[in-house]
């Protein structure tokens, strides 16, 4: 007799006997910081408030906006003329913190412009983790430019026993603006065809608000039918529908007003659908990701329309294995509704006014070499709102939102992942409308275009580290000492670390450019390691650094140790007191003769941060040095005197 075991029970048994499920989590797991300045030279970002950040914390840097668009008063309005840094992103690690300035371990992959709404998102990191209850993000905030992203990392497994849901947490739909009569009377003799308008408006020249996209709103051009990059355009007077937002797929156009008499106001210029961003990112060569665009608002003058729907947010999961356990990944755009006003539609869609466009789907990234178990991943566009419930009129329905993207690692899309990236359907004139000639009609509204399920995802790759993280939760020490046959390097872990795959020994002659000289396998039951470097006969100081590779392939680094393989120069020697340094230190130089010297402080990239000229007398010389301008990190102090150099490492700590 065969025994049948269901998948949920199998997952439970695996969790009990191999402990792969790890911690169970739910709620909002990431924290979000507004980046107010980016300095690629110093490899730093400045955040609005660094409270809660810590050295060694993994982070995501993401710029949401910054694209340039056409502002011509014609159908090209809102076309993208330059992407700039919109959609740029990368993963990094905090190296040090000084006030609100955050130093990053790895060199920037991309250039960023804080004016384009850059955010820093913390990344929870687990050995293994189970999504035990719904996980979501803080909604996107268009004022501070942060939120809308769930990003998680596990060295082992992520098990999806519950949903991760960022639907509607991307770019916002155009807000409703009511244009009551009076003072915003309309004229049957005038069709409002403007591509952009501002508030306050007057007379009949009015339009709904554009949905949010990767380009900032142009002052005094926030309204009317022109798209805003991937944000849908607003419906024009009178009662035209809004366009759907775009992402990988373009948004659909809104619907016109129809069935009105010759003497009624007309609405023949609905919102244009948001642009497709398929040509601007989502590839290994152009690795950009985007929030789903917001739908444009319908035109409202009876307090009974609908706004644009919000676009979908982002989900980024990185692990060795992702296991489906019944939870879904949801990054859908929303169908707009109006929960206020005098709307009589039980579904809260448009009554006697224009309807809003649907939001575009967002982005789901599954960065794992192995994906098992059935996983539902949705990044679909939202449906455009219906219009004209219970009225004898045929106002414009909303356009559908474009589909988003589901992006997986590897060359073949996983058979266990069901990706839904369809464009949202357009709205129609409600079947409860009282004018039979147009009931059920789209009035020209169109659905959003489909998104894409694609393969080949690769994380943005940095050129290498720019500073050394001061503290590591895994490494107890790393030392280097001269021995009879070379330099003996020794290190110890606090405890066995099963997710460490290997150790890399790196050597440098200038404390800046490191070369890998050896790789050692890590063992699950070992905490102490050693390696002897006998390859070459260096003179003076040589520098060693230890790197270790985790299960996902990312590197962590030790501090740098210096070893001198020949006697120190006899002309002079120096020491820095104290070490570690807070704000002020004393440089003590012992010299056998008078002369001039120069002291320089370098960071790990070899950049000179501080320089001081020294006049040496025979004997002991003391020079005060101010270190208050340096961030908390590891540095090198070099003293040069007439062609001879000595270098010492030191640590700058934040003041107590």
> Tens digit of pLDDT for each residue in 143-171?
999 999 999 999 899 999 999 999 999 99
- What integer is the mean pLDDT of 185-197? 90
Residue 605 banded pLDDT, cuts 50, 70, 90: low
Give the range among 22-36, 45-59, 260-274, 567-581 with minimum mean pLDDT: 567-581
Give the pLDDT score at 511.
Answer: 60
Does the structure show a pLDDT above 60 at 575? yes
pLDDT attached to residue 97: 81
Residues 351 and 455 placed together within one structural domain of the fold: yes
Residues 122, 70 share a domain = yes
Same domain as 229, residue 376:
yes
How many angstroms from the chain centroid is the CA of residue 552?
Answer: 19
- Bin 56: left if φ > 0, else alpha if -120 < ψ < 50, else beta: left
What's the total number of domains in the chain? 4
Residue 170 confidence (pLDDT): 98
Does 115 have pLDDT greater than 90?
yes
Cα 489 to Cα 546: distance, rounded to the nearest angstrom: 9
For residues 337 and 385, give the distance between their C-alpha atoms in angstroms, rounded to a whole number: 7
In a domain, 15, yes or no: no
Among 238, 246, 338, 353, CA closest to 291: 246
**Backbone region of residue 116 per phi and psi (left: phi > 0; alpha: psi in -120 to 50; beta: other values):** alpha
pLDDT average, residue stretch 59-72: 98
Choose the most confident range, by mean pLDDT, from 181-195, 321-335, 530-544, 630-644: 321-335
The C-alpha atoms of residue 234 and residue 208 are separated, in whole angstroms, by 4
User: Given a cut of 60, is residue 656 above it in pLDDT?
Assistant: no
* pLDDT greater than 90 at residue 259: no
The answer to whether 159 touches 133, Cβ cutoff 8 Å, is no
Both 244 and 154 in a single domain? Answer: yes
| The predicted structure's pLDDT at residue 500 | 84
Q: Is residue 469 part of a domain?
A: no
Any domain includes 340 = yes
3-state secondary structure of 126: strand
What separation in angstroms does the CA of 11 have from each of 16, 366, 372, 436?
9, 20, 11, 55
pLDDT of residue 35: 98
Q: Which of 250, 254, 350 is nearest to 296 (CA)?
A: 254
Q: What is the mean pLDDT of residues 223-239?
A: 97
With a cut of 90, say whether residue 478 has pLDDT above it.
Answer: no
Task: Give me the mean pLDDT over the 93-100 stretch.
Answer: 85
Which of 459, 489, 516 terminates a domain? The answer is 459
Q: How far apart are CA 387 and CA 335, in angstroms?
A: 13
User: For residue 502, what pLDDT band results from cuts at 50, 70 and 90?
Assistant: confident
The answer as to whether 517 is a domain residue is yes
- Is the confidence at residue 184, as pLDDT, over 50? yes
Q: Is residue 467 part of a domain?
A: no
Question: Is the pLDDT at 214 greater than 70, yes or no?
Answer: yes
Residue 474 tokens, joined = 């895994």
Asked if residues 291 and 275 have their Cβ atoms less than 8 Å apart, the reply is no
Q: Which residue has better confidence, 595 or 141? A: 141
Three-class secondary structure of residue 442 per DSSP: coil
pLDDT-above-90 percentage for the chain: 59
Q: Which residue has the higher pLDDT, 269 or 572?
A: 269
596 and 532 in one domain? no
Distances (CA, A) of 645 to 402, 482, 571, 578: 63, 20, 10, 21
Q: Judge whether residue 1 has pLDDT over 80.
A: no
**165 and 41: one domain?**
no
| Residue 16, pLDDT above cutoff 60 | no
108 falls within a domain: yes
Instruction: Give the domain CATH number at 85.
Output: 2.40.30
pLDDT of residue 563: 79
pLDDT > 70? residue 6: no
Least confident stretch, 130-134, 338-342, 583-587: 338-342
Position 300 pLDDT exceeds 80: yes
pLDDT in tens, 361-420: 999 999 999 999 999 999 999 999 999 998 989 999 999 999 999 999 999 999 999 999
Q: Pick from 353, 277, 285: which is nearest to 311 by CA? A: 277
Beta strands at 452-454 and 375-378: parallel, antiparallel or unpaired: unpaired
Final residue belonging to a domain, choices 424, 459, 494:
459
What is the CATH number for 544?
Answer: 2.60.40.10
Does position 358 have pLDDT exceeding 70, yes or no? yes
| pLDDT greater at residue 135 or residue 655 | 135
Question: In the listed set 532, 564, 596, which residue is the last one of a domain according to the structure?
Answer: 564
Confidence (pLDDT) at 361: 98
Question: How much is the pLDDT for 203?
Answer: 85
Of residues 625 and 295, more confidently modeled:
295
Stronger pLDDT, 572 or 585, i.e. the higher one: 585
Residue 325 and residue 199 share a domain = yes
pLDDT band (50, 70, 90) for residue 4: very low
Domain of 622, CATH number, reads 2.60.40.2550
Please compute the mean of the pLDDT values over residues 115-124 and round it to a whole number.
96
Name the CA dihedral angle for 362, 366, 367, 372, rounded to a multiple of 10 degrees: 180
Do 230 and 155 share a structural domain? yes
Q: Do 619 and 592 belong together in one domain?
A: yes
- Cα(239)–Cα(433) distance, integer angstroms: 15
Query: Please, which pLDDT band fits residue 482 given cuts at 50, 70 and 90?
Result: confident
pLDDT at residue 42, rounded to an integer: 80
CA dist list (Å): 133 to 31, 44, 130, 324, 590:
18, 35, 9, 14, 64
User: Of the ranges 191-200, 314-323, 557-566, which one carries the lowest mean pLDDT score?
Assistant: 557-566
Query: pTM for this one?
Result: 0.74
Reported as a pLDDT band with limits 50, 70 and 90, residue 654 is: low
Q: Does some domain include residue 11?
A: no
At 567 the pLDDT is 52
**Averaged pLDDT, 332-345:** 86
Considering the domain architecture, whether residues 362 and 217 belong to the same structural domain is answered as yes
Q: Do both 65 and 108 map to the same domain? A: yes
Mean pLDDT of the chain: 88
Within 10 angstroms of residue 220's Cβ, the number of other Cβ atoms is 10
Task: Name the least confident of 339-343, 456-460, 538-542.
Answer: 538-542
Per-residue b or e along 313-324, where b marks 16 or more CB atoms closer than 10 Å to that residue's CB: bbbbbbbbbbbb
> 5 in a domain, yes or no?
no
Q: What is the pLDDT of residues 310-334, one digit of tens each?
A: 999 999 999 999 999 999 999 999 9
Q: Check whether residue 282 and residue 394 sit in a common domain.
A: yes
User: What per-residue confidence (pLDDT) applies to 433?
Assistant: 92
Range of 541's domain?
475-564
Average pLDDT over residues 191-202: 91
Rounded Cα gap, residues 315 and 309, in angstroms: 19
């Amino acid at each position: 007799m065969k025994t049948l075991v269901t998948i949920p029970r199998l997952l439970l048994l695996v969790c009990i006997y191999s402990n792969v499920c790890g911690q169970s989590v739910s709620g909002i797991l990431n924290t979000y910081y507004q980046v107010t300045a980016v300095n690629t030279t110093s490899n730093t970002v400045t955040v609005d408030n660094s409270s809660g950040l810590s050295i060694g914390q993994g982070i995501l840097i993401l710029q949401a906006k910054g694209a340039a668009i056409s502002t011509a008063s014609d159908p090209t309005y809102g076309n993208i003329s330059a992407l700039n840094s919109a959609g740029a992103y990368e993963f990094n690690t905090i190296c040090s913190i000084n006030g609100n300035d955050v130093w990053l371990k790895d060199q920037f992959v991309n250039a960023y412009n804080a004016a384009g709404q850059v955010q820093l998102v913390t990344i929870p990191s687990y050995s293994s983790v189970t999504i035990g209850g719904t996980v979501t993000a803080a909604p996107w905030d268009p004022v501070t430019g942060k939120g809308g992203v769930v990003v998680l990392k596990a060295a082992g497994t992520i098990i999806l026993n519950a949903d991760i849901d960022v639907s509607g947490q991307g770019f916002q739909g155009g807000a409703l603006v009511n244009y009551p009569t009076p003072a915003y009377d309309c004229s049957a003799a005038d069709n409002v065809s403007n591509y952009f308008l501002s508030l306050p408006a007057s007379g009949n020249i009015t339009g709904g608000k554009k949905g949010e996209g990767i380009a900032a709103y142009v002052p005094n051009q926030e309204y009317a039918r022109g798209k805003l990059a991937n944000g849908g355009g607003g419906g024009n007077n009178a009662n035209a529908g809004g366009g759907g937002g775009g992402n990988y797929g373009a948004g659909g156009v809104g619907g016109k007003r129809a069935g009105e008499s010759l003497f009624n106001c007309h609405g023949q210029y609905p919102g244009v659908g948001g642009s497709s961003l398929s040509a601007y990112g989502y590839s290994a060569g152009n690795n950009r990701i985007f929030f789903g665009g917001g739908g444009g608002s319908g035109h409202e003058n009876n307090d009974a329309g609908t706004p644009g729907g919000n676009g979908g947010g982002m989900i980024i999961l990185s692990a060795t294995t992702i296991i489906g356990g019944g939870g879904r990944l949801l990054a859908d755009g929303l169908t707009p509704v109006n929960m206020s006003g005098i709307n009589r539609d039980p579904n809260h869609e448009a009554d006697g006014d224009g309807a809003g466009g649907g939001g575009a789907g967002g982005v789901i990234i599954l960065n794992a070499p192995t994906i098992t178990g059935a996983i539902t991943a949705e990044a679909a566009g939202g449906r455009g709102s219906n219009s004209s419930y219970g009225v004898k009129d045929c106002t414009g329905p909303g356009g559908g939102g474009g589909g988003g993207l589901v992006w997986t690692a590897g060359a073949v899309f996983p058979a266990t992942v069901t990706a839904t990236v369809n464009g949202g359907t357009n709205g129609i004139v409600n079947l409860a409308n009282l004018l039979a000639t147009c009931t059920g009609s789209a009035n020209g509204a169109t659905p959003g275009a489909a998104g894409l399920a694609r393969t080949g995802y690769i994380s943005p790759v940095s050129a290498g580290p720019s500073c050394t993280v001061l503290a590591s939760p895994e490494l107890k020490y790393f030392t280097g000492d001269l021995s009879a046959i070379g330099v003996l390097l020794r290190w110890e872990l606090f405890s066995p670390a099963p997710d460490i795959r290997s150790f890399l020994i790196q050597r440098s002659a200038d404390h800046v450019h490191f070369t890998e000289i050896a790789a050692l396998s890590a063992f699950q039951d070992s905490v102490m390691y050693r390696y002897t470097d006998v390859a070459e006969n260096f003179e003076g100081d040589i520098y060693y650094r230890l790197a270790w590779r985790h299960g996902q392939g990312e590197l962590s680094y030790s501090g740098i140790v210096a070893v001198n393989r020949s006697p120190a120069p006899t002309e002079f020697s120096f020491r820095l007191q104290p070490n570690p340094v807070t704000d002020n230190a004393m440089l003590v130089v012992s010299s056998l003769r008078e002369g001039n010297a120069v002291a320089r402080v370098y960071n790990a990239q070899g950049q000179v941060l501080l320089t001081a000229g020294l006049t040496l007398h025979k004997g002991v010389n003391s020079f005060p040095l101010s270190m208050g301008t340096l961030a908390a990190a590891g540095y090198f102090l070099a003293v040069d005197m007439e062609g001879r150099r000595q270098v010492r490492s030191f640590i700058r700590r934040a003041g107590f």
